[in-house]
C-alpha cells in the first residue's frame, strides 16, 4: 500500500462482521481512522460510503469497499510487507501471513469459513426464536453437534494440534470465524443458560481451536463487552416479537 494512502474504517463494536475487519487491521499493524456507526441510528451521510449502509466498510483514500470477507482479504493484500515472518521473532510476537500462497490451502480456508457460517452461526437465530422452549432447542443442538464433529475433522486435516486452523499459523480462517465462535458461546452458555449442550470437549482439536482464536491479542482488543453483546441479543428478540405481531 502506498505510504500516503489514508484508511478510514467504519465499524460498530457489537457487529461480528465488523470485528473480522478490525482483527485483520490489528494483525497487519495498520494505521487508520475509526468511525463508529450507530446501527440503530445510522447517519444519513453513511449511504455515501456504503449504499447498503451496513458495516464494516473501509475507505482507501477516496475509494470505499464493503463486506467483511472482502475487507479481510483486502487488508491482507494492502500490507504485503507484513506477509513475511521475521526470523528473529517468536510466533506470538510476529505479524503472520494471513492467507497462504498455496491455492489449495486458500480454498480450504474459504470452505472452513463458509461451513462454520452455514452450519453453526446460522443456528443462532433458531436458538433465539426458541429461547423459551428448551425442548425445541434440542433438535438445533443436535444439528450443531453434528457440524462440530465435521469441523473437528476439517481441523485435523490441517494439523493434529492447534491452536489455529492451520495449526501454529494464524490465518484468515481464524479471523473470520473467531467473532462468531465467541458470540455463539456467549449465547448458549450465558444468555440461554444451556451450558453443556455443545460437545466441544469431545474434540480436543476443536476445543483447542476455540480457545486459541478468542485468546489472540487482536481478538481481545476488538471484542465488545459482554453486556453490549447480550443487549444485541435482546434487540434481535424484540425484532422477532414485533414481526410476529404484524
My answer on whether 122 and 189 are in the same domain is yes
Exactly one of 14, 15, 72, 224 is catalytic; which is it? 15
User: Residue 65's CB: how many other CB atoms inside 10 A?
Assistant: 16
Assess contact for 186 and 198: CB atoms under 8 A.
no
Mean pLDDT across the chain: 90
Element (H, E) at 142: helix 134-158
Q: Residue 45 in 3-state DSSP?
A: helix
Residues 204-221 have a mean pLDDT of 97
Does some domain include residue 140?
Answer: yes
Task: For residue 113, give the C-alpha cell.
Answer: 469459513
Confidence of residue 92 (pLDDT cuts 50, 70, 90): very low
Which tens digits make up the pLDDT trace of 96-130?
A: 579 999 999 999 999 999 999 999 999 988 898 88
Does some domain include residue 88?
Answer: no
Distances (CA, A) of 28 to 133, 197, 221: 44, 36, 14
CA angle, 178 then 46 then 179, to 5°: 5
CATH for 147 = 1.20.1050.10
- 32-36-37-38 Cα dihedral, nearest 10 degrees: 180
For residue 224, give every residue at least 6 positions away whose Cβ sits within 8 Å of its Cβ, in sequence order, or none: 13, 14, 19
Residue 65 pLDDT more than 70?
A: yes
Give how many domains the chain has, as a whole number: 2
pLDDT the model gives residue 107 = 97
My answer on whether 78 and 189 are in the same domain is no
Does some domain include residue 49?
Answer: yes
What are 49-53's contacts with CB under 8 Å, separation 24+? 49/10, 50/10
Confidence of residue 184 (pLDDT cuts 50, 70, 90): very high
Per the structure, the complete domain to which residue 57 belongs is given by 7-82
* Residues linked to residue 60 through DSSP beta bridges, in sequence order: 7, 63
My answer on whether 71 and 119 are in the same domain is no
My answer on whether 136 and 189 are in the same domain is yes
Q: Is 96 a known active-site residue? A: no
C-alpha 157/C-alpha 139 separation (Å) is 28
My answer on whether 110 and 78 are in the same domain is no
Does some domain include residue 94?
Answer: no
Assess contact for 67 and 16: CB atoms under 8 A.
no
Confidence of residue 3 (pLDDT cuts 50, 70, 90): low
Report the number of secondary-structure helices (H) and strands (E) in the chain: 9, 4
Residue 10 pLDDT more than 70?
A: yes
Identify the domain boundary among 50, 82, 114: 82
Which tens digits make up the pLDDT trace of 17-64?
A: 999 999 999 999 999 999 999 999 999 999 999 999 999 999 999 999
Adjacency order of strands within the sheet including 63-66: 33-36, 7-11, 57-60, 63-66
My answer on whether 140 and 110 are in the same domain is yes
Assess contact for 121 and 188: CB atoms under 8 A.
no
My answer on whether 113 and 222 are in the same domain is yes
- The DSSP secondary-structure symbol of 201 reads G
Residue 90 pLDDT more than 70?
A: no
Which tens digits make up the pLDDT trace of 154-181?
A: 999 999 999 999 999 999 999 999 999 9
Amino acid at each position: 500500500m502506498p505510504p500516503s494512502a489514508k484508511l478510514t474504517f467504519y465499524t460498530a463494536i457489537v457487529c461480528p462482521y465488523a470485528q473480522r475487519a478490525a482483527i485483520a487491521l490489528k494483525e497487519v499493524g495498520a494505521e487508520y481512522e475509526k468511525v463508529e456507526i450507530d446501527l440503530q441510528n445510522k447517519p444519513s451521510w453513511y449511504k455515501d460510503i456504503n449504499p447498503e449502509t451496513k458495516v464494516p466498510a473501509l475507505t482507501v483514500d477516496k475509494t470505499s469497499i464493503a463486506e467483511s470477507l472482502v475487507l479481510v482479504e483486502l487488508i491482507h493484500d494492502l500490507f504485503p510487507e507484513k506477509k513475511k515472518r521475521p526470523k528473529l521473532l517468536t510466533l506470538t510476537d510476529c505479524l503472520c501471513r494471513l492467507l497462504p500462497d498455496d491455492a489449495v490451502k486458500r480454498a480450504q480456508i474459504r470452505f472452513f469459513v463458509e461451513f462454520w457460517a452455514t452450519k453453526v452461526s446460522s443456528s443462532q437465530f433458531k436458538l433465539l426464536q426458541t429461547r423459551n422452549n428448551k425442548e425445541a432447542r434440542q433438535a438445533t443442538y443436535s444439528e450443531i453437534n453434528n457440524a462440530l464433529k465435521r469441523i473437528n475433522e476439517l481441523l485435523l486435516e490441517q494439523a493434529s494440534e492447534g491452536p489455529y486452523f492451520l495449526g501454529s499459523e494464524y490465518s484468515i480462517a481464524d479471523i473470520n470465524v473467531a467473532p462468531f465462535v465467541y458470540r455463539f458461546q456467549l449465547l448458549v452458555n450465558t444468555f440461554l443458560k444451556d451450558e453443556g449442550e455443545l460437545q466441544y470437549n469431545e474434540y480436543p482439536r476443536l476445543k483447542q481451536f476455540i480457545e486459541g482464536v478468542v485468546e489472540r491479542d487482536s481478538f481481545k482488543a476488538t471484542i465488545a463487552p459482554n453486556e453490549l453483546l447480550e443487549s444485541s441479543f435482546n434487540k434481535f428478540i424484540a425484532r422477532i416479537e414485533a414481526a410476529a405481531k404484524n
